[in-house]
Amino acid sequence: MITSVRTTIAVLLLAGLGTAADSPIFRVERLSDRVLLLTENGLMENIVVALKSQKGLVIVDTFGSPVTAAAARETVEAAFGRRDFIYVVNTHPHWDHSWGNQVFPQATVAGFQGPKTNAEEVTRGAAQMAARMRQQLPEIEQRLQSASSTARPAIEHELAWRRRLVSGLESGFRPGPPALTFTDRMTLDLGDLTLNLVFFGRAHSGQDILVHVPEEKLLLTGDVFLDRGWMPLFCGQDELDVPRWIAALDSLLAQDLKTIVPAHRGPWTPAKLALWRNYIADLWSGVQTAKQAGQDLEGAKKLLPPPSPIFYLKDLGHSEADIRSFHDRNLQAFWRQR
Protein backbone atom coordinates (compact mmCIF):
# COMPACT_ATOMS: atom_id res chain seq x y z
CA MET A 1 0.00 0.00 0.00
CA ILE A 2 2.76 2.48 0.95
CA THR A 3 4.62 1.76 -2.29
CA SER A 4 1.52 2.40 -4.40
CA VAL A 5 0.83 5.62 -2.49
CA ARG A 6 4.38 6.83 -3.06
CA THR A 7 4.04 6.04 -6.75
CA THR A 8 0.76 7.95 -6.93
CA ILE A 9 2.37 10.97 -5.27
CA ALA A 10 5.28 10.88 -7.71
CA VAL A 11 2.93 10.71 -10.70
CA LEU A 12 0.79 13.58 -9.40
CA LEU A 13 3.79 15.75 -8.70
CA LEU A 14 5.20 15.07 -12.16
CA ALA A 15 1.82 16.05 -13.59
CA GLY A 16 2.20 19.39 -11.87
CA LEU A 17 5.83 20.05 -12.82
CA GLY A 18 6.31 22.94 -15.17
CA THR A 19 3.22 24.30 -13.47
CA ALA A 20 4.77 25.38 -10.19
CA ALA A 21 8.45 24.61 -10.60
CA ASP A 22 9.48 28.26 -10.48
CA SER A 23 7.34 29.22 -7.53
CA PRO A 24 6.93 27.51 -4.15
CA ILE A 25 3.59 25.82 -3.60
CA PHE A 26 3.36 26.54 0.13
CA ARG A 27 4.43 28.82 2.89
CA VAL A 28 5.30 26.43 5.70
CA GLU A 29 5.10 27.42 9.37
CA ARG A 30 5.69 25.32 12.46
CA LEU A 31 3.42 26.27 15.34
CA SER A 32 5.06 23.65 17.54
CA ASP A 33 6.87 20.34 17.33
CA ARG A 34 3.50 18.71 16.62
CA VAL A 35 1.73 21.30 14.44
CA LEU A 36 2.57 22.35 10.89
CA LEU A 37 0.71 24.97 8.80
CA LEU A 38 0.88 24.82 5.00
CA THR A 39 -0.54 27.90 3.30
CA GLU A 40 -0.96 27.51 -0.45
CA ASN A 41 0.38 30.30 -2.63
CA GLY A 42 -2.35 31.31 -5.01
CA LEU A 43 -5.64 33.16 -5.21
CA MET A 44 -7.31 31.52 -2.22
CA GLU A 45 -4.36 30.87 0.11
CA ASN A 46 -5.89 27.71 1.56
CA ILE A 47 -4.43 26.56 4.87
CA VAL A 48 -3.93 22.89 5.68
CA VAL A 49 -2.92 21.87 9.21
CA ALA A 50 -0.84 18.76 9.87
CA LEU A 51 -0.62 17.23 13.35
CA LYS A 52 1.88 14.69 14.66
CA SER A 53 0.64 12.37 17.41
CA GLN A 54 1.60 9.14 19.12
CA LYS A 55 -0.99 7.23 17.09
CA GLY A 56 -0.28 8.77 13.70
CA LEU A 57 -0.39 11.87 11.51
CA VAL A 58 -3.54 13.91 10.92
CA ILE A 59 -4.35 16.31 8.08
CA VAL A 60 -7.12 18.87 8.51
CA ASP A 61 -8.43 19.71 5.00
CA THR A 62 -6.60 18.66 1.84
CA PHE A 63 -6.69 21.51 -0.71
CA GLY A 64 -8.66 21.46 -3.97
CA SER A 65 -6.30 19.40 -6.13
CA PRO A 66 -4.71 15.98 -5.62
CA VAL A 67 -1.50 17.48 -7.08
CA THR A 68 -1.37 20.08 -4.30
CA ALA A 69 -2.35 17.48 -1.69
CA ALA A 70 0.43 15.18 -2.93
CA ALA A 71 2.98 17.97 -2.51
CA ALA A 72 1.57 18.64 0.95
CA ARG A 73 1.93 14.99 1.87
CA GLU A 74 5.58 14.99 0.82
CA THR A 75 6.20 18.18 2.81
CA VAL A 76 4.56 16.79 5.96
CA GLU A 77 6.38 13.46 5.72
CA ALA A 78 9.70 15.26 5.37
CA ALA A 79 8.96 17.62 8.26
CA PHE A 80 7.83 14.91 10.68
CA GLY A 81 9.98 12.05 9.38
CA ARG A 82 6.90 9.82 9.26
CA ARG A 83 4.23 8.71 6.81
CA ASP A 84 1.65 7.03 9.07
CA PHE A 85 -1.42 9.15 8.28
CA ILE A 86 -4.29 7.99 10.46
CA TYR A 87 -6.99 10.64 9.89
CA VAL A 88 -8.04 13.26 7.37
CA VAL A 89 -10.52 15.73 8.87
CA ASN A 90 -12.65 17.91 6.58
CA THR A 91 -13.94 21.11 8.19
CA HIS A 92 -16.66 21.10 5.50
CA PRO A 93 -17.15 19.36 2.15
CA HIS A 94 -16.44 22.22 -0.25
CA TRP A 95 -14.11 21.33 -3.12
CA ASP A 96 -11.14 23.47 -2.06
CA HIS A 97 -10.92 21.64 1.29
CA SER A 98 -11.66 18.04 0.35
CA TRP A 99 -10.73 17.23 -3.24
CA GLY A 100 -7.24 16.16 -2.20
CA ASN A 101 -8.54 13.43 0.14
CA GLN A 102 -7.61 10.62 -2.25
CA VAL A 103 -3.89 11.21 -1.65
CA PHE A 104 -4.29 9.76 1.87
CA PRO A 105 -5.92 6.37 1.14
CA GLN A 106 -4.81 4.68 4.35
CA ALA A 107 -6.28 7.48 6.50
CA THR A 108 -9.87 7.51 7.75
CA VAL A 109 -11.71 10.62 6.54
CA ALA A 110 -13.73 12.23 9.34
CA GLY A 111 -16.35 14.94 9.03
CA PHE A 112 -19.95 15.93 9.63
CA GLN A 113 -22.69 13.46 8.70
CA GLY A 114 -24.29 15.27 5.79
CA PRO A 115 -26.20 14.10 2.74
CA LYS A 116 -24.69 11.10 1.00
CA THR A 117 -22.15 12.11 -1.61
CA ASN A 118 -22.98 11.34 -5.22
CA ALA A 119 -19.54 10.27 -6.47
CA GLU A 120 -20.45 10.56 -10.13
CA GLU A 121 -21.79 14.06 -9.67
CA VAL A 122 -18.68 15.18 -7.76
CA THR A 123 -16.38 13.64 -10.39
CA ARG A 124 -18.33 15.35 -13.16
CA GLY A 125 -18.07 18.67 -11.30
CA ALA A 126 -14.31 18.23 -10.97
CA ALA A 127 -13.96 17.59 -14.71
CA GLN A 128 -16.04 20.68 -15.49
CA MET A 129 -13.89 22.81 -13.20
CA ALA A 130 -10.71 21.49 -14.82
CA ALA A 131 -12.10 22.37 -18.25
CA ARG A 132 -13.00 25.92 -17.16
CA MET A 133 -9.57 26.39 -15.59
CA ARG A 134 -7.83 25.12 -18.71
CA GLN A 135 -9.72 27.64 -20.83
CA GLN A 136 -8.55 30.43 -18.55
CA LEU A 137 -4.85 29.54 -18.68
CA PRO A 138 -3.96 31.34 -21.96
CA GLU A 139 -5.30 34.66 -20.69
CA ILE A 140 -3.27 34.39 -17.47
CA GLU A 141 -0.15 33.33 -19.38
CA GLN A 142 -0.55 36.38 -21.60
CA ARG A 143 -1.07 38.60 -18.57
CA LEU A 144 2.14 37.23 -17.07
CA GLN A 145 4.15 38.06 -20.20
CA SER A 146 3.21 41.74 -20.02
CA ALA A 147 3.31 42.06 -16.22
CA SER A 148 5.70 44.33 -14.36
CA SER A 149 8.33 42.82 -12.09
CA THR A 150 6.23 43.88 -9.12
CA ALA A 151 3.08 42.16 -10.40
CA ARG A 152 4.76 39.00 -11.70
CA PRO A 153 5.00 36.97 -8.43
CA ALA A 154 1.25 37.10 -7.74
CA ILE A 155 0.42 36.16 -11.33
CA GLU A 156 2.96 33.32 -11.26
CA HIS A 157 1.33 31.94 -8.11
CA GLU A 158 -2.12 32.23 -9.67
CA LEU A 159 -1.00 30.48 -12.84
CA ALA A 160 0.70 27.69 -10.90
CA TRP A 161 -2.38 27.26 -8.71
CA ARG A 162 -4.68 26.95 -11.71
CA ARG A 163 -2.35 24.50 -13.44
CA ARG A 164 -2.21 22.32 -10.32
CA LEU A 165 -6.00 22.23 -10.29
CA VAL A 166 -6.16 21.29 -13.97
CA SER A 167 -3.56 18.52 -13.73
CA GLY A 168 -4.98 17.16 -10.47
CA LEU A 169 -8.59 17.10 -11.58
CA GLU A 170 -7.78 15.63 -14.98
CA SER A 171 -5.53 12.85 -13.60
CA GLY A 172 -7.77 10.17 -12.14
CA PHE A 173 -9.60 12.35 -9.63
CA ARG A 174 -11.72 10.43 -7.11
CA PRO A 175 -13.92 11.92 -4.37
CA GLY A 176 -13.14 10.88 -0.80
CA PRO A 177 -16.18 11.62 1.40
CA PRO A 178 -16.03 11.08 5.18
CA ALA A 179 -16.24 7.47 6.36
CA LEU A 180 -16.29 8.47 10.05
CA THR A 181 -19.10 10.92 10.74
CA PHE A 182 -20.94 12.63 13.60
CA THR A 183 -23.88 15.00 14.08
CA ASP A 184 -23.01 16.90 17.28
CA ARG A 185 -19.55 16.25 18.75
CA MET A 186 -16.87 13.60 18.35
CA THR A 187 -13.50 13.12 20.04
CA LEU A 188 -10.52 11.45 18.36
CA ASP A 189 -8.01 10.12 20.91
CA LEU A 190 -4.50 10.27 19.43
CA GLY A 191 -2.60 9.36 22.59
CA ASP A 192 -0.77 12.59 23.34
CA LEU A 193 -3.26 14.72 21.40
CA THR A 194 -7.05 15.05 21.48
CA LEU A 195 -9.14 16.26 18.56
CA ASN A 196 -12.52 17.57 19.64
CA LEU A 197 -14.73 17.90 16.56
CA VAL A 198 -17.70 20.22 17.13
CA PHE A 199 -20.58 20.79 14.72
CA PHE A 200 -20.76 24.58 14.52
CA GLY A 201 -24.12 24.50 12.77
CA ARG A 202 -25.46 25.55 9.41
CA ALA A 203 -23.48 28.63 8.40
CA HIS A 204 -21.08 28.91 5.45
CA SER A 205 -22.06 25.36 4.48
CA GLY A 206 -24.59 23.01 5.99
CA GLN A 207 -21.80 20.97 7.56
CA ASP A 208 -19.31 23.37 9.18
CA ILE A 209 -17.26 21.94 12.03
CA LEU A 210 -14.67 23.37 14.41
CA VAL A 211 -11.60 21.36 15.44
CA HIS A 212 -10.20 21.93 18.93
CA VAL A 213 -6.79 20.55 19.94
CA PRO A 214 -6.57 21.38 23.66
CA GLU A 215 -2.99 20.18 24.16
CA GLU A 216 -1.86 22.74 21.56
CA LYS A 217 -4.35 25.46 22.58
CA LEU A 218 -5.39 25.38 18.94
CA LEU A 219 -8.78 25.91 17.28
CA LEU A 220 -9.39 25.36 13.56
CA THR A 221 -12.46 27.14 12.22
CA GLY A 222 -12.72 26.20 8.53
CA ASP A 223 -14.30 28.84 6.30
CA VAL A 224 -16.65 30.41 8.83
CA PHE A 225 -14.28 33.06 10.19
CA LEU A 226 -12.18 34.97 7.65
CA ASP A 227 -11.27 38.62 7.41
CA ARG A 228 -8.66 38.96 4.65
CA GLY A 229 -9.93 38.69 1.10
CA TRP A 230 -13.32 37.79 2.50
CA MET A 231 -15.33 38.81 5.51
CA PRO A 232 -16.78 36.10 7.82
CA LEU A 233 -18.80 33.56 5.85
CA PHE A 234 -21.40 32.51 8.38
CA CYS A 235 -24.57 33.34 6.41
CA GLY A 236 -24.27 31.06 3.40
CA GLN A 237 -27.39 28.99 4.07
CA ASP A 238 -31.10 29.84 4.10
CA GLU A 239 -31.50 28.19 7.50
CA LEU A 240 -28.90 29.19 10.09
CA ASP A 241 -28.17 27.74 13.53
CA VAL A 242 -27.34 31.04 15.22
CA PRO A 243 -28.03 29.96 18.84
CA ARG A 244 -25.87 26.90 18.24
CA TRP A 245 -23.05 29.09 16.91
CA ILE A 246 -23.13 31.19 20.07
CA ALA A 247 -23.18 28.14 22.34
CA ALA A 248 -20.28 26.50 20.46
CA LEU A 249 -18.20 29.67 20.58
CA ASP A 250 -18.93 30.25 24.26
CA SER A 251 -17.83 26.70 25.06
CA LEU A 252 -14.62 26.92 23.04
CA LEU A 253 -13.65 30.46 24.02
CA ALA A 254 -13.89 29.33 27.65
CA GLN A 255 -10.96 27.00 26.90
CA ASP A 256 -7.31 28.01 27.05
CA LEU A 257 -6.74 29.00 23.42
CA LYS A 258 -3.62 30.47 21.85
CA THR A 259 -4.08 30.22 18.08
CA ILE A 260 -7.15 30.28 15.84
CA VAL A 261 -6.53 28.96 12.32
CA PRO A 262 -9.11 29.71 9.61
CA ALA A 263 -8.93 27.71 6.39
CA HIS A 264 -7.60 30.66 4.34
CA ARG A 265 -5.06 33.49 4.56
CA GLY A 266 -3.65 33.43 8.09
CA PRO A 267 -4.14 32.73 11.81
CA TRP A 268 -6.25 34.78 14.19
CA THR A 269 -5.97 35.55 17.87
CA PRO A 270 -8.63 34.36 20.36
CA ALA A 271 -9.50 38.03 20.95
CA LYS A 272 -10.49 38.43 17.30
CA LEU A 273 -12.71 35.35 17.46
CA ALA A 274 -14.30 36.73 20.65
CA LEU A 275 -15.03 39.99 18.81
CA TRP A 276 -17.00 38.08 16.18
CA ARG A 277 -18.74 35.94 18.79
CA ASN A 278 -19.97 39.18 20.38
CA TYR A 279 -21.01 40.56 17.00
CA ILE A 280 -23.13 37.46 16.31
CA ALA A 281 -24.67 37.39 19.79
CA ASP A 282 -25.44 41.12 19.85
CA LEU A 283 -26.95 41.11 16.36
CA TRP A 284 -29.06 38.04 17.12
CA SER A 285 -30.30 39.54 20.39
CA GLY A 286 -30.96 42.87 18.70
CA VAL A 287 -33.00 41.26 15.93
CA GLN A 288 -35.15 39.38 18.46
CA THR A 289 -35.71 42.56 20.49
CA ALA A 290 -36.68 44.53 17.37
CA LYS A 291 -39.19 41.86 16.33
CA GLN A 292 -40.72 41.75 19.79
CA ALA A 293 -41.07 45.55 19.70
CA GLY A 294 -43.02 45.28 16.46
CA GLN A 295 -40.33 46.73 14.24
CA ASP A 296 -40.14 45.83 10.58
CA LEU A 297 -36.84 45.05 8.84
CA GLU A 298 -36.17 48.68 7.91
CA GLY A 299 -36.79 49.74 11.48
CA ALA A 300 -34.39 47.06 12.72
CA LYS A 301 -31.70 48.36 10.37
CA LYS A 302 -32.00 51.82 11.94
CA LEU A 303 -31.77 50.36 15.44
CA LEU A 304 -28.85 48.03 14.62
CA PRO A 305 -26.12 49.86 12.66
CA PRO A 306 -22.75 48.17 12.11
CA PRO A 307 -20.91 48.12 15.47
CA SER A 308 -17.64 50.03 15.60
CA PRO A 309 -15.36 47.02 16.43
CA ILE A 310 -15.88 45.41 13.02
CA PHE A 311 -14.51 48.47 11.23
CA TYR A 312 -11.00 47.09 11.86
CA LEU A 313 -11.75 45.37 8.54
CA LYS A 314 -10.86 48.66 6.82
CA ASP A 315 -7.23 48.06 7.80
CA LEU A 316 -7.39 44.78 5.87
CA GLY A 317 -8.51 46.38 2.62
CA HIS A 318 -12.31 46.30 2.94
CA SER A 319 -14.12 49.53 2.12
CA GLU A 320 -16.53 51.10 4.56
CA ALA A 321 -19.32 50.58 2.02
CA ASP A 322 -18.50 46.87 1.81
CA ILE A 323 -18.48 46.54 5.61
CA ARG A 324 -21.88 48.21 5.87
CA SER A 325 -23.26 46.00 3.09
CA PHE A 326 -21.84 42.93 4.83
CA HIS A 327 -23.54 43.88 8.09
CA ASP A 328 -26.81 44.59 6.27
CA ARG A 329 -26.76 41.13 4.67
CA ASN A 330 -26.13 39.52 8.05
CA LEU A 331 -28.98 41.45 9.64
CA GLN A 332 -31.35 40.39 6.85
CA ALA A 333 -30.23 36.74 7.13
CA PHE A 334 -30.78 36.77 10.90
CA TRP A 335 -34.17 38.47 10.43
CA ARG A 336 -35.34 35.66 8.12
CA GLN A 337 -34.75 32.99 10.76
CA ARG A 338 -37.72 31.68 12.68
pLDDT over 80 (residue 14): no
Contacts for 266 with CB less than 8 Å, ≥ 6 apart: 39, 45, 47, 228
- Per residue in 180-208, pLDDT (tens digit) is 999 999 999 999 999 999 999 999 999 99
pLDDT of residue 288: 97
Nearest to 335 by CA among 288, 292, 294, 279: 288
pLDDT over 60 (residue 5): no
CB 19 within 8 A of CB 163: yes
- Per residue in 237-246, pLDDT (tens digit) is 999 999 999 9
pLDDT of residue 2: 45
- Rounded mean pLDDT, 132-144: 95
Using CA atoms, how far residue 306 sits from 109, 246, 318, 324, 336, in Å, is 40, 19, 14, 6, 18
> Residue 309: pLDDT band by 50, 70, 90 thresholds?
very high
pLDDT of residue 171: 76
Q: What is the rounded CA–CA span in Å between residue 64 and residue 228?
A: 20
- Cα 107 to chain center, whole Å? 19
SS3 of the chain: helix, strand, coil, percent, to 5: 45, 20, 35
- Per residue in 86-113, pLDDT (tens digit) is 999 999 999 999 999 999 999 999 999 9
pLDDT of residue 185: 97
- Rounded mean pLDDT, 70-98: 97
pLDDT over 60 (residue 12): no
User: What top-level class would CATH report for the domain 2-117+175-225+260-268?
Assistant: alpha beta
Which percentage of the chain shows pLDDT scores above 70?
A: 93
Going through 138-271 in order, the beta strands assigned E by DSSP cover: 180-182, 185-189, 194-201, 208-213, 218-222, 259-262
pLDDT over 90 (residue 11): no
pLDDT of residue 7: 41
pLDDT of residue 22: 56
- Per residue in 205-253, pLDDT (tens digit) is 999 999 999 999 999 999 999 999 999 999 999 999 999 999 999 999 9
Contacts for 155 with CB less than 8 Å, ≥ 6 apart: 140, 143, 144, 147
Q: What is the rounded CA–CA span in Å between residue 240 and residue 337?
A: 7
Going through the chain in order, the beta strands assigned E by DSSP cover: 26-32, 35-40, 47-52, 57-60, 85-89, 108-112, 180-182, 185-189, 194-201, 208-213, 218-222, 259-262
- Cα 77 to chain center, whole Å? 22
> Residue 321: pLDDT band by 50, 70, 90 thresholds?
very high
Domain edges within the chain: 2-117+175-225+260-268, 272-336
pLDDT of residue 272: 98
Contacts for 285 with CB less than 8 Å, ≥ 6 apart: none
pLDDT of residue 1: 47
Considering only residues 14 and 279, tell me which one the structure prediction assigns the higher pLDDT: 279
pLDDT over 50 (residue 19): no
- Rounded mean pLDDT, 79-89: 98
Instruction: Give pTM, 2 decimals.
Output: 0.92
> Residue 10: pLDDT band by 50, 70, 90 thresholds?
very low
> Residue 338: pLDDT band by 50, 70, 90 thresholds?
confident
Nearest to 32 by CA among 207, 184, 215, 260: 215
Q: DSSP secondary-structure letter at 305?
A: P
Average pLDDT score over the chain: 93
